[in-house]
Amino acid sequence: MINVNRTPSGVASNDTFTDPSGSVTFITASSSYAFTLKCVPGTCTSDFKKFLVEDLVFGQSPKWSASHKFMGKKDLGKYNNIGDSYKVYLMMGNLMYHCEYVLVRTNSAYLWIDYTSIQEIFDKNFAKFEEFMSGFKVTNF
């Protein structure tokens, strides 16, 4: 079962589904206008990627979360012609999280689609992420 919830920030939707073992997996779609305002045309996409993925340093917290430690990443190229995709590994406490990020640029915003789960569940539930993404369409907004 997939539950869709609006987050308190108003710029994200958070979808969760529970594995038969009881583990909860998250898919979050967040939007940001801040990068549009801070960058020069042609550099915006790289600034967005740098902030979320490219500037991550092994063993250090990302700029966007003091509770995580970055452990590794892999550039996966384009995800179904939607956006650039990355596999990211983060530690929180004593748990290693596997994340698939899809970064999308539209005419007016940047979207960060984040599928995150613990290692044991990530591959098992990846089909649900693909189901979520199969209904995802970028329009000119």
Gap between the Cα atoms of 116 and 101, Å rounded: 9
In this prediction, residue 120 has a pLDDT band, given cuts at 50, 70 and 90, of confident
- Here the contacts of 94-98 (C-beta below 8 Å, separation 24 or greater) are 96/71, 97/68, 98/122
Stated length of the chain: 141
Among candidate residues 100, 35, 93, the one with its CA nearest the CA of residue 69 = 93
pLDDT at 2: 39
Residue 80: pLDDT over 70: yes
Residues of the chain above pLDDT 70, percent: 64
Which residue ranges form the domains of the chain, and what is each CATH number? 2-134 (3.40.1000.10)
Task: Give buried/exposed letters for 11-36 (b at 16+ CB in 10 A, else e).
Answer: bbebbebeeeeeeebebbbbbbeebb
Query: What are the tens digits of pLDDT across the range 39-79?
Result: 445 555 567 788 888 888 999 998 878 889 999 999 999 98
Structure tokens at 134: 């199969």
Which of 4-18, 71-85, 99-113 is modeled with the greatest confidence?
Answer: 71-85
Residues of the chain above pLDDT 90, percent: 21
Structure tokens at 91: 């530690």
Q: Which residues pair with 24 in a beta bridge?
A: 18
Mean pLDDT of the chain: 74
